Structures are given as structure tokens and as C-alpha cells.
A and B are shown apart, each in its own frame.
Chain A
Amino acid sequence: MKPERDYGLVDILDRLLNKGVILNADLIITVAGVPLIGLSLKAALASIETMLDYGMLEAWDRETRNWYKNQLMERRPSLAEDEVILYKTFGYIWYNEGLISSWRPGFWYVTNERIFLWRREPDEDLFETYLDRIASVKTGTEIEFGKDREELNLEVDGWIARIRSSDVLAFEDAIRKALFNPRYQTEPEL
């Protein structure tokens, strides 16, 4: 049980930022009646939302957001010439190599040729496979933090890729549809 209290450290800091703090200080160092060194301090500390309400830092806020937006626009995963994106979702892949084991985030793409996980920053394909190398697609559940989490298991070259996304079933559906693409159905032998 947590002890009841009216305000904690975070509440105080939050209040402080919401109201904003202004510091104004002028200082002159004088020797024998002659001012020699001057100091004029003006400082403001507040949440950006408060700053904007008072008309401060507006241009900087706008420029920062626009710059980031442009950065995002410029980056796209590299596709082959006749490759078409069929499905895209934000998700993760389980990465386990050496000392590192973690879920690596990125954007999952299902195209008519491949399935890959693309990370925007820095630009890299974290996982890639061609559709014809997929042996099986399965969904499973894994318990994490006391909750069931759905995940997708993709069998590729005798190895299982563990995949997570917000809607695992839709992802699975997209992969199955892509696999039915006639381009990868093997010709019946005569």
C-alpha cells in the first residue's frame, strides 16, 4: 500500500514547470565608485506549453517539430522496382545474439516479394526474408508482466522469428494473403 500524501516531488516539480519561473538579476561590480564589470541575467524555466502561452520560444518549437517531420518524410525503406507494399505496421522482433537479447522495434512491411522489419533511425533492415523461404506462420501467446501477449512465429530456414505488433492477427492475415500471390506458387510438375 502506498502512503497517502497531498503532494510528492513530482507534483511540486510539475506545478513549478506549469507556472514557470523567471529569474531576473542585474549586478555591477564597482571599484572606487567606477563600475567595472556588469552582469545581466535573465532566465526562464517552464514547460514548453507555458512558454508558448506567454509567446516565448514559439519559433524554436515550430522549427524543431518541422525539422523532425521532414527527417521522417525523407526516409523510406528501399524497395525493388516492381515491389509493392501490401501491409505495414509498427512492431518488434526478438533479437538474441551473444549478450544482447531484446525486442527490437521498427516498421514491419509485407510486400509481394518480402517480409522485412525496417528501422528508421539509423536506417537499417533488422530482419528480411523472401516469401518463398517461409516454411510456416503461427500465432502464439507469451506471458509477460502477468499479461498474455500475442506473438507471431515465422519459420524461415529452420529458424523461428518471434514477431510482435499491435494487431498480430491482421499481420498474419496479410502474410497469408501475400503467400497466396500466384508469383510464388510452385508450378505443378507434369
Chain B
Amino acid sequence: MALEVDEKNLKQGLLGLVVALVEIIQDLVERQAIRRIEGGRLDEDEIERLGKALIDLDEAIEKIKQDNDLEDVVNSVIVSLDDVAEDLLNKFLNPESWAEEVDET
């Protein structure tokens, strides 16, 4: 499984790759933020600040994506990263498939 960066449009491809990674981190941070908020240890002010900061981040990333026409590139990078992750997880969960793959080659 390889990540493909379109050579004809290097800038868009590379920027798309970076934005995709940023988006994955953002997604992860957002989920953890929700966990912290639901955990009940933060006060209202902290929750509000956290929410605002995440909204600002989201808007900024959306804007970068729009300005550079990156939606498709970013989506395809995320899909291929998900493929890699799914593949790896499958191999750990059922090692037989790994053996089959080795036999095939």
C-alpha cells in the first residue's frame, strides 16, 4: 500500500498530504476534547475556551482546503491511510491472512 502524491501537481499533492495529517491530528484532539469535557473535571470557562479554539482551528483548516482546492486530495490521502490502518489491524487480529499473503507471493 503506497501513498500516491500526484507528480503533475506537486504543490497540491504535498499540501494535501500535510493537511490530511493535520486533519487526522485535529480529529484525534477533538475526540479527546469531548472526553475531557464529559469527564467533568473542567470548569465552564475552560470548556468554552477549548470549544472556541477548536472551532477556530476547524475554520482555518477548512479555509486552507478551500483556498487551495484540496478536498479531493485530502480525502484520498485519508482513505488510503485508513486502508493501511485497517490492513495492519486485520493482520494483527487474524494472523492467518498474513500467512496466506506470504504463500501467494
A residues in contact (CB < 8 Å) with B: 2-3, 5-10, 12-14, 17-18, 47-49, 52, 61, 65, 69, 90, 105, 145
The 4 closest A-B pairs by CB, nearest first: A8-B82, A9-B85, A10-B27, A49-B35
Residues of B within 8 A of A17 (CB): 28, 32
Residues of A within 8 A of B28 (CB): 10, 13-14, 17
Q: Which residue of A lies closest to B24 (CB)?
A: A10
Interface residues of B, count at CB 8 A: 25
Residues of B within 8 A of A18 (CB): 35
Max chain A CB contacts within 10 Å: which of B28, B66, B79?
B28
Instruction: Identify 16 new A-B residue pairs, CB closer than 8 A, beyond the known A2-B75, A8-B81.
Output: A2-B79, A3-B79, A5-B82, A7-B85, A7-B86, A9-B82, A9-B84, A10-B27, A12-B85, A14-B32, A18-B35, A49-B39, A61-B41, A69-B46, A90-B52, A145-B66
Is A8 within 8 A of B35, CB to CB?
Answer: no
Q: Which residue of B lies closest to A8 (CB)?
A: B82
Answer yes or no: B89 CB below 8 A from chain A CBs. yes
Residues of A within 8 A of B81 (CB): 8-9
Max chain B CB contacts within 10 Å: which of A3, A14, A47, A49?
A49
